[in-house]
Amino acid sequence: MPGHAWTRLELPRDALPNLRHLECSSAQAAALLKNAAASGRPLETLLGIEVHDTVIDSKYFSWDDEWEDEDHDDADEEQPSPWKALLLQGLQAQSSITRLGISSIGTPEEMATLAAVAPQVKDLSIHIDRDLKIPVSVIFS
């Protein structure tokens, strides 16, 4: 998905009514979850997400030939995550998600944020970035 095309990703309300398990990037999850609760899709499992405050586009997107012809000097620069807030809103609205797979955690605050918006999660798998120490109280509070 080149560039920020994820912002245009939208499913009709009646699409995928039996979707229970989803594995995708945070950008895709943010776009898919924005209407999931209203559509009645009872999503139970979401894998592959992260909630970093900042992102580097080149680590998330592959670029097509058309994109390569444009000027994207900032693709390797850290910038605020354009999808974090939308993803967190979607997680909070989708209370049926009880299994969450986190592809990357960078700070203890990210874990605390997830715990606050998705307290219904019962099964959590996390890939912790090297040298990160998350207090047990954050994970099990």
What's the CA gap between 37 and 94, in Å, rounded?
5
Tell me: the pLDDT tens digits for 78-102?
889 888 999 999 999 999 999 999 9
Helices 84-93, 108-117: axis angle to 10 degrees equals: 40
For tokens 């444009």, name the residue.
Answer: 70
User: What's CA 33's distance to the chain center, in Å?
Assistant: 9
Spell out the domain ranges in the chain.
5-139
Residue 30 φ then ψ, to 5°: -60, -45
Cα separations in angstroms, 32 against 10, 13, 19, 83: 6, 11, 11, 11
Residue 28 φ then ψ, to 5°: -65, -40
Q: Would you state the CATH architecture of domain 5-139?
A: Alpha-Beta Horseshoe (3.80)
Encode the chain (141 residues) as per-residue pLDDT tens digits. 445 666 777 777 777 788 899 998 898 888 888 876 666 778 999 999 999 998 877 666 665 555 455 555 655 788 898 889 999 999 999 999 999 999 988 788 888 899 899 999 999 998 766 665 655 555 554
